[in-house]
Structure 1
Amino acid sequence: MPGHPTPRGPSGPPEFLLLGLLFALAAGSTGCSESEGGAATVTPTPSPIRATLVEVSEQQWPSEVATQGNLVADETTVVGAKVAGRIDQVHVDLGDFVEAGTVLASLDRRELQEQVRQAEAELIQARAAIGLDLQDSLDEVEPEAFPIVLEQKALWDQARADRDRSAALRNRQVATDTEYETALTAEQVARARYAAAINSVRELIATARVRTAQLELARQALEEAEIRAPFDARIQDRHVSPGMYVQVGAPVATLIRDDPLRYRGTVPELFASSLAIGQLVRLRVETGPELPEVTISRISPSIDPLSRSVLFEASVPNPDHAIQAGQFSQGEVVLDQSRRIIALPKSAVVEFAGTRKVWKVVDGSAVEQPVELGGHRDDLIEILDGLEPGEQVLLDGSLGRPAPVEIPMEIAALHNDGGSGEHPSKFPRP
């Protein structure tokens, strides 16, 4: 109508604008929610593992037991004086090497030489009494052939003839009984003198033998005035000096034979029944040359009640005398050379928080496999339980995670000697 303004609806346009804005916000929120929900349900694919594998196999793993002990001299002896006397010279000193028969020390020999001369003179006197020279043998002497015995034998023969003649005259009653008894007595006396002559000669022969033995003893004492080494050895200590007077048996020098040495070691009582002569022993010393492998040569028949261990010995060659007797040594005794076990490189085993595992490849993927470990040797470790020969594990366990194993890759094959060789192998891509 004229004069009336047209109604504008003061809230009209703003209301439409607000509703549109609300619908737009709702639509955007719904779209974002659906987009976020879709992203949460998608799982990302883990990246594949590219690593070297190890094929599980049995290895030769000899059964061993640790041992420790000392390398002692094969022989140790204290050489003493066999005769009393004053030391004239000492020919050796600490550390010297001597061969068997080498003179270690000499006594003053003058008195002993005089004793030899005296014994020789007495022997000559004894032999002269029976009419023998020094070169004549006493074993060929016949007492019946000596002049004194022959003389008494002739007198006895004459007495027997006189007795027989007197007996015949008495039977014809030409001689009296008194004459016969006189002849009989004379014959008995002659027989006794003959026997005494034989005994006298035998006594002279025995005396000559005694004088011979005394001469030998005097010569031996003179020879033993030079004290000699009984075997090839080294001088561990000397106990005398020139001018000292030593009695019989007094120590002169201590000798040791250090080639070979004796390893005297022990193993626990638990392994006593497994020890045997000929078993291999590997030894080492803290300082010194590398020791050769040796074998057990002797085993004690009893257990030490204090240490509960058994003692054994092995001969260790020492031709250059580079190893000193008394050195401490340790090593292993190989109880069973043919024992075989499953072993892996130490790098394949993962140890964390008391757990031990490897990453085994199953159907082309790496999965955890708990294992039980035994002893270790060099770079290998024994697997007691958890794996079987022919299975494959990651060589480097630190790379392990639940993921497929990608080709191409390598398999490290373990050999019986603990080494490894590698050759390529393919698996189907997961």
Structure 2
Amino acid sequence: MKGPLTNKRIVLGVTGSIACYKALELASKLVQNGALVDTIMTKSSQEFLTPLAFKSLTHRDVVTNMYDINSQFAINHVGLAESADIIVIAPATANTIAKISNGMSDDSLTTTVLAAKCPIVIAPAMDGNMFDNPATQNNIATLISRGIFISGPEYGRLASGLIGNGRMTSPKNLVNIVTTTLGSNGDLSGKKILISAGGTAEPIDPVRFITNKSSGKMGYSLATAARDRGATVTLVSASNMLETPIGMQTKKVKTSSEMYDVISKEIIEMDAIIMAAAVSDWTPEKYSSSKYKKNGTENWSIDLIKTTDIIANISKPNLIKIGFAAESDNLIENGKSKIQSKSLDLIVANDILDKNNGFESDTNKVSIIHPNGDVEAIPTMPKYEIANEILDRMIPLFNKK
């Protein structure tokens, strides 16, 4: 499946910081996501790494000298700037940041940046005291005022042995930032979407609770895919197993009642809701503030009461509502029943007895059911791809509301 970075032209600027080894991982991840990566190495960065390392990963020539007659960019020094969809400078030294802030163009990288009209992401990497210096802070403020995105630096152990702000943003997070930046004009641009994820936990006593096997992976995949396509995403998560994704607002909850309260408040601003969370159908009628003891008892019972059906009780004019149906039998029949009773625009049904898909798995196989009874079977694929299949079918619904 075509991803958000497929065939995107990304200029990767690498400057002379010890953190430039991380740029190799970044280049590799961008290429793995389908991007065409053109690397520009400053003279000082070549003291740490060779151009061959980047060429081996990107399978493209590396620009090292603005006046190299053998370079494909020798005549047109702004060729990369004109063709780039985005420029990422990682790591960015204090020296390079100062040059860009002051409009200097004395090498291939600064010349490219000065000529660029595409988005620019800069990931500073330097000693903490250098980063905190007023001169550096003023330079960064200038870049931000020009619309350049500054990522980091992160807090941690630095090359000097000191602890502080100065570490380059991780390659994984930079890939997410690049994807989000390029997706800002995607087919969901301007849409506000609330997505729920994970399995709620209904407390019995201070140590016991009722929950389910949901990992939250499907909901997180939906949130990430929607973000990558330009949506403003609010993720309401009952999962603590997954890393909080960047580029979206995340609300953490535990119980079904907490999820209902948060969604009820957030839904006012939303254009769509995708209820991917596995919300408990039942909750203990009474919560014990002290731990239940065995005390020789052979049997133990608790009274359960129904929880609020969140998506059935959420409504606002023109709101698109997409639900999930996790079923062990009569998959399609139960899905069709729920799409009517809950007034949904789509429902995504999956078989919880399929051991290779669904809960806790990285893949899924679903049936997308429409209000008119039409059913589309989506074969097994990674959950991110399933998410995009669902979003593909959601987009036309905006024109019908």
Q: If the TM-score is normalised by the length of the shorter chain, which range does it land in?
A: under 0.3
Which structure carries more strand by proportion?
1
**What TM-score do you get using the length of structure 1 for normalisation?**
0.17
Q: TM-score w.r.t. structure 2 length?
A: 0.18
Q: Whose relative contact order is higher, 1 or 2, with alpha carbons under 8 Å and at least 6 apart? A: 1
